[in-house]
Amino acid sequence: MSERFEFIKACFDRKNKTIAEICFDFGISEKTGHKFIKRFMESGEKGLKDRSHAVLHHPFRITEEVQSRILELKKAHPDYGPQIIHDRLVQHEPDVHWPAASSIGEFLKRQGLVRRRPRRNRDHERVHLNSHLTEPTEPNLVWTADFKGQFRVYSRFGVYCYPLTVMDLNSRFVLGIRALETTSVDQTKCEFVRIFREYGLPRVIRTDNGVPFAQANALGRLGHLAFWWVRLGIKPEHIRPGKPQENGAHERFHKTLKAATAKPPSVSLRSQQKRFDEFITEYNSHRPHRSLARRRPPREFYSPSTRPYPNRLPELSYDEGTLVRLVGSNGCIKWQQRPIMISTNITNQYVGITEAEGDRFRVSYGDLQLGWIVAETGDFKPEVRWEEPN
């Protein structure tokens, strides 16, 4: 300010000097010098102060009408982030020029509606392709299932809710969410029967290694539920122990489900189930999904399976020439007048035995290979592997 004022004094007290020469003495351009002279003539000494360089007009400022639409959507769905809000607005009114997701995010931050999340090292979250996992190239090829962590619904009586969740991995379509009282095989099986009757049968069901989907120390970690799926022509597929990222899409879905329906939880299983049902409708039919084309809702990409759920459980069939053996109540079969332990999870059911190379006999349960009988010793060597039906 003082130097600019000295420049103005020099301009008015100049002796045989031009404005250009005075500007040269002060180290500024002639254009800048005339600018300060003009501002001083218009506003006096105040005109020499620095002025804001901010634009006077913001052509892309979010209007009050758009702000109210954003706040209305955020209030109705607190778990929606800026990107989902943007996609939802574009989905319903594609002809309107909506602000970018980043602009919506900045607006929500100013409103105090966005929590700052700590940065995560995503190097640990990257999942490499695993040859043992089926690629979900079409709907109903791979379903994923899991129990979301239990939580208390009756704070006074200590009743817990165990939400069973089932999803089609290709379309991200939620097939079912059921508030169960336990993770028992019977309750889980009843829910799968309901889902199978409504949507048909998938080719693969992928789960973790927890109960009731897997059984520790059992043959292939397969329990009663998994062998039931095999009877229906469904391949049970387990992720590797300690590798939840191999079922990452389902784990991420659980995070969304918890934020929308369990914070806070309901006061009863019935009311909690009602929230789950409302969430399914909103998630499948209205909520845009980032992993889907054009960020559309899952319902637009899903159609029921062409494999209906049978009224009666199909009998296991084996090729001609296959030896058939009954698994006794102790889990053993008779082979050359001696018992061989197979699995207690398939008692009173039949396995097939076929001769193979290397002086071995292959033991199978439908399309599921269970292992090998070594002809010389009569020992059973477990090697569970799914064989694609012909």
Split into its structural domains, the chain has a count of: 4
pLDDT at 251 (0 to 100) = 94
Give percent above pLDDT 70 in the chain: 92
Q: Is residue 367 part of a domain?
A: yes
**pTM score, whole prediction:** 0.75
21: domain range?
2-48
Q: Is the domain of 41 the same as that of 93?
A: no
Q: Is residue 355 part of a domain?
A: yes
Q: Is residue 314 part of a domain?
A: no
Q: Is the domain of 244 the same as that of 354?
A: no
Q: Is the domain of 19 the same as that of 144?
A: no
Q: Does the pLDDT value for residue 221 go beyond 70?
A: yes
pLDDT at 117 (0 to 100) = 62
Coil/strand/helix, residue 297: coil
The residue type of 209 is N
Average pLDDT of the chain, as a whole number: 88
Q: Which of 68-82, 165-179, 181-195, 296-310 has the lowest mean pLDDT?
A: 68-82
pLDDT at 126 (0 to 100) = 42
pLDDT tens-digit profile of 148-158? 989 988 766 67
pLDDT at 323 (0 to 100) = 94
Distances (CA, A) of 263 to 153, 283, 318: 11, 17, 51
Kindly state the greatest CA–CA separation across the chain: 128
From CA 358, how far away is CA 128, in angstroms rounded? 35
130: pLDDT confidence band, cut at 50, 70 and 90? very low
Q: Which value, to the nearest 10 degrees, does the dihedral of the CA atoms of residues 256, 258, 259, 260 take?
A: 80
Q: Highest mean pLDDT range out of 47-51, 242-246, 301-305, 314-318?
A: 301-305
pLDDT at 83 (0 to 100) = 86
Long-range CB pairs of 347-350 (<8 Å, 24+ gap) are 349/227, 349/316, 350/316, 350/318, 350/324, 350/325, 350/326
**Rg value, the chain, Cα:** 34
Q: Is residue 119 part of a domain?
A: no
122: pLDDT confidence band, cut at 50, 70 and 90? very low
Q: What is the CATH number of the domain that holds 8?
A: 1.10.10
Q: Is the domain of 337 the same as that of 373?
A: yes
Q: DSSP string covering 28-54, please?
A: --HHHHHHHHHHHHHHGGGGGS-----
pLDDT tens-digit profile of 316-338? 989 988 999 999 999 999 998 89
Q: Is the domain of 44 the same as that of 78?
A: no
Long-range CB pairs of 303-308 (<8 Å, 24+ gap) are 303/139, 304/140, 304/198, 304/199, 304/200, 305/139, 305/140, 305/199, 305/200, 305/201, 305/202, 306/140, 306/200, 307/140, 307/200, 307/201, 307/202, 307/233, 308/200, 308/201
From CA 238, how far away is CA 246, in angstroms rounded? 9
The closest of 388, 389, 386, 390 to 227, measured between CA atoms, is: 386
Answer whether the bond into residue 99 is a cis peptide, omega within 30°. no
